[in-house]
């Protein structure tokens, strides 16, 4: 290679584009009305573009603007998006602006993703977890342009991202330190930010947004919708898993099952004498249903992937518990949160739409390619982990001196889902989806080998204790109720599994079904949560039935 | 819990300590001579204290100062250190300043660590990998005080950490956003930093150091010390692993084996026609032996955990390859690097001191408790990973429709180590060390189940192809030479394993032993590397034989 080789081609290209747009920029600042022109000038056809947007926070002004660019000028973009959440995230593919997509999660748009893959208007790079998508921004998906959102920006381009810092830092760093272009939409431009979350040196262009970035209260669950079946399952989980294994650190997925657990800690957990003995440390979004447990002194620390709408004031008033900056507002961090969720925790508790007869689970069902977000990070056993905790060690096989413990990975499901379809199935819909969408792997969320416990309204299957696939299947059948899988269960086998502690029914655990009533919840509704918070929690309008 | 509960006890304590020290501080700045007094005032007995120091960069001024504090005033500290590298890191335990230790790596001090555990002067929390140690700073090892090092600090406390940013950001964030105290030693105080790596808002106290922080050129290997046996192994690896599996992204551990591979890419790799087909993307420290491959156009990107002494100017001149800021100097990031190394890569290639008959390996040998640094992150199969690459898929079992690929984890060892002791052993010394140090687990670095290939001077064992432990053992024996393990090898079995592609000798791979000469290396010595770099690489004095 000759000495004349340009080893700074990315820098040269970046400078040329910024220089060409100088008349549209005042220093780093562009005007809202010029946003489309600025994107057309700074994004080149074929570029790798990261668009911020996870399951909560969306760079919605920039995504709307990107959808308006002229596909004659900007096309064949390779988009990298944690979450496909908004219509224009897919419009840009139909309109010829983008052609390839790497993503993690597609909840609200999952049906359309499936259709677009089938009709060829979308080419998938891969379906990731959050953590691997972030990791690849430093390896083989290094971005040319990143589009992110900030709450406030000062005159030097310093960003305040506060409660919803989320994935902004890990995205911005990948571009700022590899001659990518960092474009920020700002809710507000101010003289002085409350604190600097991301230094202005890392930011190239700031555009004031026409309205604040979209933010979804994804983790808010109204206690009034928790059923007595969910309360029964929560009681079993607390006694038969949290207490039994002395779990100290935990992540809860989204859902009413885990909300029920949170609301039973100060009541049922207290009755069991578990206060001070379990779950002091959490990696979890600040779900409002945690408030009673926090106020009752159950919880020592919570680190969060993101914020939660309405929880800001409460979090600011509880800095011993939450991660809060010197300015008094929360800082979240999705990359570090996923890292902690994968490597540092005793236990992950999640839910799913389907579990097959072997124990593999997926939220991908027929026609809906939803992706996984962070669940496979949290819901897998990281074999690189070397530190040891009592919970971890309690799952250690006793016949191998070189053996080690493992992460508790718990699936909590009712045997029939909200749609009246069985959760336990012989074969996952994901197997068909793989073929339809021509994926390299069956889109399994959590593999059987990583799943240590399944909880249903029937009981708990302690899968980590099984020593063959046949025994694992029998344990699953034992708690699968009247689903086709459950109907195969042999009462004599169940009796044996119960005797050996591989399956536990409520009566085996000493959990009384009659106690599983809504009165056991520490909060019955949103108003109760507000009261527990001393008025500091401010629920979003759609959850405020009383005002 | 009453409404009078103080939910900001950490903040109150921090403010009280900073206020009490006001006469010793000018704003955020203390004086070098007052460092001991400042630490005595800001660190409280029993505090959790993170001391920056990985295998390269050390907050050496602050560690020396900590060793001087009065143990009557400050004692029973719980220290969290990535690396135990300097004598005072252990002196503080003998002197009664600290009592408990969580760490990752203890290379230079590993013998003393073993002795101190045995005599009870050191209580180990756990031995971690880098990634889990960082993760726990956000969960159950949230620090009260962190002691870190910066190259330059401006009047507002903004930090420039440049090439050696390393683990500083992940440590500082854990304290800055949980009312911990962030204390920084500065090589230089300047009016304006070249760029802001860490915002001043996150920093409480800055003390100019008496001399620059310690920095070790840990990853520099002089080509003149590469042997022809290592060249033979490198040729086998390139043809039989890198080429065979179409590996695109890789991490290399420290050592001459991987240095040989780096120096054979532009020669032997070119002969094989592999240029442009393998390893464009790297997560690796900027080892000087990569220079010929970079200059020859083999490499597209390198993200690094840390810097490397003498490589700064070369890196600045190659921003298309390395992660370099707008100011023109590199930014490293150990937390993101470990995340990428674990989740984003096709392959890890490392070395070890012992491998047992089953394929478990460890660098912990009798009397030396060295810990693992990042090897178990990189050298493990992350079951949470969901994206798919050709290399990954090439290891997929063909009998399971729900199966998936896995990471290539390669151990490269000569059958006898530098100390003339066999690398292949029936039982790891680590088993005895577990008992002596009363560890909860045998300190295995990489487990057999994660190890997909072993390369020795005898050949390659493709362990991922074996379908029983007995077959795995036979494959290991086949390449274990005249070690006790190797002597058990049955020639008829080896013949069968070769026929089935489970073991490959050089002749099976078409690798000619006679070609394995030093003339095949793209650089013979350090001077050659300097020449390849067009004079931009500036080796540390101890590597400069010619000046």
Q: Got the DSSP string for B234-287? A: HHHHIIIIIITTT--EEEE-SSHHHHHHHHHIIIIIHHTT-TTTS--EEES---
User: Cβ–Cβ of A376/B384 closer than 8 Å?
Assistant: yes
| Contact residues on chain B for A130, CB-CB shorter than 8 A | none
Q: Beta partners for A3?
A: none
CATH 3.90.660 fits B223-526, yes or no: no
Interface test with chain A among B386, B450, B533, by most A beta carbons within 10 Å: B386
pLDDT (0 to 100) of residue A400: 86
Q: From the CA of A314, how many Å to the nearest CA of chain B?
A: 11
In this complex, do B1 and A431 lie within 8 Å of one another by their Cβ atoms? no
CA distance A197 to chain B (A): 8
HEC readout, B431-477? HHHHHHCCCCCCCCCECHHHCCEEECCCCEEEHHHCCCHHHHHHHHH
Q: What is the fold of B10-215?
A: Glutaconate Coenzyme A-transferase (3.40.1080)
Does the ipTM surpass 0.95? yes
Q: How far apart are CA A78 and CA A126, in angstroms?
A: 12
| A127–B386 C-beta distance less than 8 A | yes
Q: Are A251 and A260 in contact (CB under 8 A)?
A: no
Is B326 or A56 the better-scoring residue by pLDDT? B326
**Per-residue pLDDT of chain B in tens (547 residues, 90 and over written 9):** 455 789 999 999 999 999 999 999 999 999 999 999 999 999 999 999 999 998 789 999 999 999 999 999 999 999 999 999 999 999 999 999 999 999 999 988 888 998 898 888 899 999 999 999 999 999 999 999 999 999 999 999 999 999 999 999 999 999 999 999 999 999 999 999 999 999 999 999 999 999 999 998 888 999 999 999 999 999 999 999 999 999 999 999 889 999 999 999 999 999 999 999 999 999 999 999 999 999 999 999 999 999 999 999 999 999 999 999 999 999 999 999 999 999 999 999 999 999 999 999 999 888 788 888 899 999 999 999 999 999 999 999 887 889 899 999 999 999 998 788 999 999 999 999 888 888 889 999 999 999 999 999 999 999 999 999 999 999 999 999 999 999 999 999 999 999 999 999 999 999 999 999 999 999 999 999 999 999 999 999 989 876 5
Hey, of B285, B399, B402, B452, which one would you mutate to test binding to chain A, going by the most A CBs within 10 A of its CB?
B402
Q: CA of B28, closest CA in chain A: separation in Å? A: 14
Query: How far away is chain B from the Cα of A477, in angstroms, using its nearest Cα?
Result: 20
Lowest-pLDDT range of A122-131, A515-524, B510-519: A122-131
Q: What is the pLDDT of residues A387-430, one digit of tens each?
A: 999 999 999 988 788 989 999 999 999 999 878 899 999 999 99
Cβ contacts of B379 on chain A, cutoff 8 Å: 384
With CA atoms as reference, the chain A residue closest to B427 would be A402
Beta bridge partners of A281: A249, A301
Query: pLDDT digit string (tens) for A175-206?
Result: 999 999 999 999 999 999 999 999 999 999 99
Mutate one of A3, A100, A138 to test the B interface: name it (highest B CB count within 10 A).
A138
Distance from CA of A530 to the nearest CA of B (A): 15
Chain A: residue whose CA lies nearest to B403: A441
Which among A3, A158, A339 has the least Cβ separation from residue B534? A3
Which residue among A303, A387, A402 places its CB closest to the CB of B126?
A387
The pLDDT confidence band at residue A369, using thresholds 50, 70 and 90, is confident
Question: Pick from B9, B129, B337: which is nearest to A386 by CB?
Answer: B129
Q: What letter does residue A269 receive in the DSSP assignment?
A: I
Å from B136 to nearest chain A CA? Answer: 5
Question: What are residue A198's phi and psi, to 5 degrees?
Answer: -135, 125
* B384·A199 Cβ contact <8 A: no
Q: Which two tokens stand for residue B483?
A: 């070690």
Q: Which among B158, B281, B343 is the nearest to A131, CB-wise?
A: B343
The answer to whether A337 contacts B197, with C-beta atoms less than 8 Å apart, is no
Cβ–Cβ of A136/B387 closer than 8 Å?
A: yes
Least CB–CB distance from A393: residue in B140, B440, B443: B440
Chain A closest-CA separation from residue B36 CA (Å) = 25
pLDDT band at A117 (very low <50, low <70, confident <90, very high): confident
pLDDT at A546: 64
B383 closest CB neighbour out of A102, A345, A447:
A447
Q: Is the pLDDT of residue A207 over 90?
A: yes
Say what the pLDDT of residue B120 is. 87
Specify the pLDDT at position B3. 55
Q: What is the pLDDT of residue B546?
A: 64
> Does the beta-carbon distance from A200 to B201 stay under 8 Å?
no
3.40.1080.10, 3.40.50.720, 3.30.565.10, 1.25.40.10: CATH of A11-215: 3.40.1080.10
- pLDDT for A3 beyond 70: no
CA of B266 to nearest chain A CA: how many angstroms apart?
A: 11
CA distance A215 to chain B (A): 22
Q: Tell me the backbone φ, ψ of residue A523, rounded to 5 degrees.
A: -140, 135
Contact between B442 and A337 using a beta-carbon 8 Å cutoff: no
Paired residues of A461 in beta bridges: A454, A503
Distance CA A528, CA A206 (A): 41
**Beta carbon pairs, A and B, within 8 Å:** 277
Average of per-residue pLDDT values in chain A: 95
- Cβ-defined contact of B384 to A385 (cutoff 8 Å): no
Using 50, 70 and 90 to split pLDDT, how confident is the model at A219? confident
Cβ–Cβ of A344/B135 closer than 8 Å? Answer: yes
Q: Which residues contact B462 (CB under 8 A, 6 or more apart)?
A: B452, B453, B475, B501, B502, B503, B504
Shortest CA distance from A282: residue in chain B:
B139
**Nearest-by-Cβ selection for B131 from A139, A343, A534:** A343
Nearest CA in chain B to A377: B384
* Measured distance CA(A332)–CA(A336) in Å, rounded: 9
Task: Please answer yes or no on whether B139 and A283 come within 8 Å at the CB atom.
Answer: yes
Scanning every residue of chain A, which has its alpha carbon at the shortest distance from the alpha carbon of B170?
A336
Domain extent listing, chain A: 11-215, 223-526
Fold matches, B10-215 and B223-526 = yes
Give the nearest partner residue to B384 out of A129, A337, A431, using CB atoms: A129
Which of B142, B336, B442 comes nearest A402 by C-beta? B442
In terms of C-beta density within 10 A (0-12 exposed, 13-18 middle, 19 or more buried), how is residue A419 classed?
Answer: exposed
Q: Which of A343, A360, A382 sits opposite B402 (nearest CB)?
A: A360
Coil, strand or helix at A89: helix
Give me the count of residues in chain B.
547
Taking the CA of residue B508 and the nearest CA in chain A, the distance in Å comes to 31
What value, to the nearest 5°, has the Cα angle with vertex A153 and ends A150 and A154? 170
- Rounded to whole angstroms, the Cα distance separating B385 from B378 reads 13
């Amino acid at each position: 290679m000759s000495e004349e080789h340009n080893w700074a081609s990315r820098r040269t290209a970046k400078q040329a584009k910024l220089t060409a747009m100088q008349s549209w920029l005042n220093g780093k600042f562009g005007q809202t009305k010029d946003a489309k022109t600025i994107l057309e000038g700074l994004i080149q056809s074929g570029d790798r573009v990261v668009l911020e947007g996870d399951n909560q926070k969306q760079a919605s002004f920039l995504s709307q603007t990107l959808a308006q660019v002229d596909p004659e000028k900007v096309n064949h973009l390779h988009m990298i998006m944690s979450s496909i959440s908004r219509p224009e995230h897919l419009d840009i593919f139909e309109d010829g602006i983008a052609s390839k997509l790497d993503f993690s999660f597609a909840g609200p748009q999952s049906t359309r993703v499936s259709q677009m893959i089938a009709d060829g208007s979308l080419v998938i790079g891969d379906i990731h977890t959050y953590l691997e998508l972030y990791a690849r921004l430093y390896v083989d998906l290094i971005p040319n342009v990143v589009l992110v959102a900030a709450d406030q920006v000062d005159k030097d381009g310093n960003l305040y991202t506060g409660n919803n810092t989320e994935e902004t830092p890990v995205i911005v760093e990948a571009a700022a330190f590899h001659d990518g272009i960092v474009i920020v939409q700002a809710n507000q431009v101010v003289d002085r930010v409350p604190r600097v979350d991301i230094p202005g040196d890392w930011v190239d262009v700031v555009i004031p947004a026409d309205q604040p970035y979209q933010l979804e209260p994804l983790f808010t669950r109204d206690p009034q919708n928790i059923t007595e079946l969910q309360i029964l399952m929560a009681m079993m989980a607390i006694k038969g898993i949290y207490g039994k294994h002395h779990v100290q650190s935990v992540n809860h997925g989204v859902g009413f099952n885990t909300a029920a657990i949170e609301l039973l800690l100060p009541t049922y957990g207290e009755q069991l004498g578990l206060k001070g003995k379990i779950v002091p440390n959490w990696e979890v979004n600040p779900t409002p249903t945690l408030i009673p447990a926090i106020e009752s002194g159950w919880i020592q620390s919570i680190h969060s992937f993101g914020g939660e709408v309405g929880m800001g004031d409460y979090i600011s008033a509880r800095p011993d518990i939450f991660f809060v900056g010197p300015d008094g507002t929360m800082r979240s961090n999705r990359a570090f949160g996923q890292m902690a969720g994968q490597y540092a925790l005793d236990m992950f508790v999640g839910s799913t739409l389907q579990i097959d007869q072997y124990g593999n689970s997926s939220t991908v069902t027929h026609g809906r390619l939803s992706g996984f977000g962070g669940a496979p990070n949290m819901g897998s056993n990281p074999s690189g982990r070397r530190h040891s905790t009592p919970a971890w060690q309690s799952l250690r096989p006793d016949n191998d001196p070189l053996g080690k413990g493992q992460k508790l990975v718990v699936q909590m499901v009712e045997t029939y889902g909200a749609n009246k379809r069985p959760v336990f199935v012989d074969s996952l819909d994901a197997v068909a989806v793989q073929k339809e969408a021509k994926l390299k792997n069956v889109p399994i969320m959590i593999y059987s080998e990583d799943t240590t416990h399944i909880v249903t309204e029937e009981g708990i299957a302690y899968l980590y204790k099984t020593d063959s696939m046949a025994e694992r299947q029998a344990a699953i059948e034992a708690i699968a109720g009247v689903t086709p899988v459950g109907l195969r269960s042999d009462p004599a086998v169940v009796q044996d599994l119960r005797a050996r502690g591989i399956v536990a029914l409520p009566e085996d655990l000493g959990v009384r079904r009659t106690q599983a009533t809504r009165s056991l919840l520490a909060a019955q509704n949103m108003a109760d949560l507000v009261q527990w918070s001393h008025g500091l929690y401010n629920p979003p309008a759609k959850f405020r039935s009383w005002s």
